[in-house]
Amino acid sequence: MTNFIKTMSGILGALVLTLGAFATGVYGAVNILPNGMSAAVAEAGVPTVVLDETKLVAKSAVLYDLGTHRVLYQKNAYEQLPLASLTKLMAVQTVLSVKMAKTPVQITRSNILPEGNSGLKVGQTVTLGDLIKFALVASSNDAMEAAIATLGDDPIGKMNAAAKQLGLTKTHFFNATGLDVTKTTSGAYGSAYDVARLAALFYKDHPDFFELTTRPEVSIDQSGKTLTAEATTLPLQSIPGFVAAKTGYTDLAGGNLVAVFDLEPGVTVVAAVLGSTRDGRFSDVAALIQAARASLSL
Task: Please report whether residue 201 resides in a domain.
Answer: yes
CB-based burial, 264-290: b 16+ in 10 Å, e otherwise: eeebbbbbbbbbbeeebbbbbbbbbbe
The CATH number linked to 140 is 3.40.710.10
Query: Distance (Å, rounded) from C-alpha 174 to C-alpha 182?
Result: 11
Q: What confidence category does residue 166 fall into, taking pLDDT thresholds of 50, 70 and 90?
A: very high
Task: Please report whether residue 176 resides in a domain.
Answer: yes
Of residues 21 and 185, which shows the higher confidence score?
A: 185
Q: In this model, does residue 117 exceed pLDDT 90? A: no
Domain that holds residue 283: 81-296
Q: In the chain, pLDDT over 90 holds for what percent of residues? A: 76
Q: In this model, does residue 260 exceed pLDDT 90? A: yes
Query: Distance (Å, rounded) from C-alpha 201 to C-alpha 127?
Result: 23
Number of domains making up the chain: 1
Task: Please report whether residue 235 resides in a domain.
Answer: yes
Backbone angles phi, psi at 106, to 5 degrees: -90, 130
Q: What confidence category does residue 297 fall into, taking pLDDT thresholds of 50, 70 and 90?
A: confident
Residues, the chain, total? 298
Mean pLDDT of 114-134: 89
- Residue 222: CB atoms within 10 Å: 19
Residues 6+ apart with CB under 8 A from 168: 190, 194, 197, 198
- Residue 20: CB atoms within 10 Å: 13
pLDDT at 225: 87
User: What's the pLDDT tens digit per position in 60-77?
Assistant: 999 999 999 999 999 999
Task: Please report whether residue 26 resides in a domain.
Answer: no
Q: In this model, does residue 292 exceed pLDDT 50? A: yes
Task: Please report whether residue 155 resides in a domain.
Answer: yes
pLDDT at 298: 61
Task: Please report whether residue 287 resides in a domain.
Answer: yes
Task: Please report whether residue 150 resides in a domain.
Answer: yes
Task: Please report whether residue 40 resides in a domain.
Answer: no
Mean pLDDT of 186-196: 98
Of residues 87 and 222, which shows the higher confidence score?
A: 87
